[in-house]
């Protein structure tokens, strides 16, 4: 049922696979090992034959087809590939047909289960009993047949059996012959499927830890149990000396290296050296550092996803990669005291383009903060866009801004704002030089980005020689500011001893400050680093009483910032993974969790904690 399309913006990709469809070959942009998960749709029906079942066959199967069209027309994977739906061969009226459907789904690689019905069915006989696949039930709201009654019975069965399922039920009654999917139902189906596909895409993949703990940062103490139990992911540990070995022994694509170095020299504008004149490196040393950081970028990418070119060079083991859907680089301090820092490599990997053209952004964490890397991964899988990695650095109150600059902040900045900044590793997509059809600044999925937008991102970035006080080995940090107002969501996973992981998030906006205000405030931190000025949406209570309270309640030094207000999607995803949400500013009527959560109390935050504790990690 998937709409198979050939992407027009595809450029050189790594580890491209080939799949045969309708006797034609289609190049896939997916760069990891394993097939993309499919969405399985289960049309369940009243199994009583000799009249009842026969009268419902067409309506039930049409619901399944309508759901498949909705999903395939509205969702894509981050690779740009379309989402495919698989519908059971027949309607499901009993346990035998449920088993046949399960067998088909297993053969087809289904990772998401959506059951649809307009009528009464035999509850547990037709249910999906696979505990490892996120599941939802859409019960048609009509009066002719009791679809809502089955929905309630099915959800009770799932809850009793410890298989949390999402319930989807339209607010308004529809006529039996109405094939339209109401807007509230559309929203829930797409939110469920999008989050469930994120769960399925992480399963079996790797987090690549290049090095280990950076400067004592707890998030870089990569926890294999968290990745395995909650995400179904491997953790792969590779010492940073492997990067050095590959540089010294030339274990990278030399032809691509020359192409990358030429592109870097032409497109990446070197910025001002802010080091003291007597400490600045000479031109020869800086040129060597540029060569090293380009090689580092190639090598880090190859370590994540492999590169068949290396096999041609006689490095078969190195060619395979680690099948990493996300990764991180320790850098500080053992690497950066001796070699150029990882800022350039991290920036380019996290961006939606490089010397090979426009492509899917990687997820790669600065300082190997794996928990921020996971938060970036969540945002990437939900939005298909590049992610911002930042320090949650400084809260600027209106009074402090006025004292320092003589200017009183106005508009969105009127209640104060937060300075998001890191040592030059933020995605270049965050320059906000991409535009939607109305001319608004946005961060797009890679297949919508134009070459002109890539050029603007690069033209608005300077690569300043790294601060030698921080980075004794040199390197180059990206310098830009996020231009324009964009809706964004900042999120973070934190680990709590005795509790496990918790998710916090804050929807808000990037803002622009007047030039003179920006310059004065930015110079107080580090002028060689990229800046994003951020304002969360405040509610007047709790952690969102004001902007200061958001800063004060943030659980770590880093945040992952994703384009768009995706808080509701993150909450749905977290519930699937059994990760409670400790802080958010999402409207209550947008929160969508499994129906079992209703049994743990009316107060949603406490119920979320109790439900996650009761059902436990998804993969334990």
So which residues are the catalytic ones?
Answer: 367, 391
Find the DSSP H helices in 168-216: 183-202
Question: Treating both helix axes as pointing N-terminal to C-terminal, what angle do 283-305 and 343-350 enclose, rounded to 10 degrees?
Answer: 50
Token code pair at residue 310: 């290396």
Do 584 and 505 meet the contact criterion of CB atoms below 8 Å apart?
yes
Tell me the Ramachandran region of residue 462: left when phi exceeds 0, alpha when psi lies from -120 to 50, beta otherwise. beta
For the chain, first and last CA: distance in Å? 33
CA 275, CA 110: separation in Å to the nearest integer? 55
The 3-state secondary structure of 385-449, one letter per residue: CCCEEEEEEEEECHHHHHHHHCCCCCHHHHHCEEEEECCCCCCHHHHCCEECCCCCEECCCHHHC
CA dihedral 6, 113, 78, 510 (to 10 degrees): 130
CA 197, CA 39: separation in Å to the nearest integer? 8
Do 514 and 402 meet the contact criterion of CB atoms below 8 Å apart?
no
CA 520, CA 406: separation in Å to the nearest integer? 10
Do 429 and 351 meet the contact criterion of CB atoms below 8 Å apart?
yes
241 contact partners, CB below 8 Å, separation of at least 6: none
CA 106, CA 88: separation in Å to the nearest integer? 12
Q: Per DSSP, which regions of 211-344 are E strands? A: 234-238, 269-270, 324-329
DSSP 36: P
Q: CB neighbours (10 Å) of residue 266?
A: 10
What are the contacts of 220-225 at 24+ separation with CB within 8 A? 220/328, 220/330, 220/367, 220/368, 220/369, 220/370, 222/328, 222/368, 222/370, 223/370, 223/495
CA 382, CA 32: separation in Å to the nearest integer? 17
Question: Treating both helix axes as pointing N-terminal to C-terminal, what angle do 604-615 and 567-577 enclose, rounded to 10 degrees?
Answer: 30
* Helix and strand numbers, DSSP H then E, in the chain: 19, 25
Token code pair at residue 269: 């504008």
Question: Does the bond joining 115 to the residue before it have cis omega, within 30 degrees of 0?
Answer: no
Token code pair at residue 605: 């935050």
Phi/psi for 335 (5° steps) reads -80, -50
- Give the neighbor-by-neighbor strand order of the sheet with 110-117: 85-87, 38-43, 110-117, 135-139, 166-168
CA 574, CA 74: separation in Å to the nearest integer? 22
Residue matched to tokens 């030698």: 468
């Amino acid at each position: 049922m998937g709409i198979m399309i050939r992407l027009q913006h595809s450029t050189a990709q790594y580890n491209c696979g080939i799949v045969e469809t309708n006797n034609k070959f289609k190049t896939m942009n997916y760069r990891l090992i394993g097939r993309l998960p499919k969405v399985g749709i289960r049309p369940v029906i009243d199994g009583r034959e000799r009249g009842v079942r026969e009268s419902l066959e067409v309506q039930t199967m049409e619901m399944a087809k309508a759901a498949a069209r909705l999903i395939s027309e509205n969702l894509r994977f981050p690779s740009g590939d379309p989402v495919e739906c698989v519908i059971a061969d027949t309607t499901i009226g009993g346990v035998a047909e449920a088993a046949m459907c399960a067998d088909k789904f297993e053969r087809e690689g289904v990772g998401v289960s959506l059951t649809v019905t307009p009528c009464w069915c035999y509850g547990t006989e037709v249910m999906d009993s696979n505990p490892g696949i996120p599941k939802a039930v859409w019960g048609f709201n009509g009066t002719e047949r009791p679809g809502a009654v089955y929905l309630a019975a099915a959800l009770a069965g799932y809850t009793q059996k410890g298989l949390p399922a999402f319930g989807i039920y339209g607010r308004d009654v529809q006529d039996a012959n109405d094939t339209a999917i109401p807007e509230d139902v559309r929203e829930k189906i797409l939110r469920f499927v999008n989050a469930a596909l994120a769960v399925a895409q992480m399963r079996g993949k790797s987090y690549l830890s290049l090095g280990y703990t950076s400067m004592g940062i707890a998030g870089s103490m990569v926890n294999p149990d968290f990745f395995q139990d909650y995400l179904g992911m491997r953790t792969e540990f590779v010492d940073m000396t492997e990067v050095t070995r590959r540089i010294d022994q030339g274990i990278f694509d030399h032809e691509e290296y020359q192409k990358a170095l030429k592109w870097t020299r032409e497109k990446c504008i070197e910025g001002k050296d802010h080091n003291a004149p007597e400490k600045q490196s000479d031109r020869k040393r800086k040129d060597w550092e540029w060569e090293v950081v380009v090689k580092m970028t190639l090598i880090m990418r190859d370590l994540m996803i492999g590169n068949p070119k290396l096999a041609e060079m006689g490095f078969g083991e190195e060619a395979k990669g680690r099948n990493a859907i996300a990764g991180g680089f320790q850098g500080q301090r053992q690497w950066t005291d001796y070699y150029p820092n990882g800022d350039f490599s991290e920036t380019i990997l996290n961006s939606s383009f490089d010397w090979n053209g426009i492509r899917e952004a990687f997820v790669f964490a600065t300082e190997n903060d794996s928990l921020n890397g996971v938060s970036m991964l969540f945002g990437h899988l939900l939005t298909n866009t590049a992610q911002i990695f930042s320090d949650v650095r400084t809260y600027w109150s209106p009074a402090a801004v006025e004292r320092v600059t003589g200017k009183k902040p106005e508009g969105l900045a009127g209640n104060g704002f937060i300075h998001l900044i890191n040592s030059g590793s933020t995605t270049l997509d965050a320059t906000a030089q991409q535009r939607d059809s109305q001319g608004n600044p946005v961060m797009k999925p890679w297949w919508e980005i134009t070459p002109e937008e890539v050029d603007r991102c690069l033209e608005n970035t300077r690569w300043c020689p790294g601060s030698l006080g921080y980075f004794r080995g040199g390197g180059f940090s990206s310098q830009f500011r996020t231009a324009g107002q964009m809706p964004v969501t900042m999120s973070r996973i934190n680990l709590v001893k005795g509790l496990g992981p918790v998710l916090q998030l804050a929807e808000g906006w990037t803002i622009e400050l007047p030039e003179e205000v920006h310059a004065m405030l930015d110079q107080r931190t580090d002028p060689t680093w990229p800046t994003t000025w951020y304002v969360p949406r405040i509610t007047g209570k709790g952690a969102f009483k004001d902007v200061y309270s958001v800063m004060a309640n943030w659980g770590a030094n880093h945040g992952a910032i994703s384009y768009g207000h995706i808080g509701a999607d993150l909450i749905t995803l977290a519930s699937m993974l059994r990760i409670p949400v400790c802080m958010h500013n999402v409207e209550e009527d947008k929160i969508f969790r499994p129906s079992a959560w209703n049994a743990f109390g009316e107060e949603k935050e406490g119920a979320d904690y109790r439900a996650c504790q009761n059902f436990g990690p998804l993969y334990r």
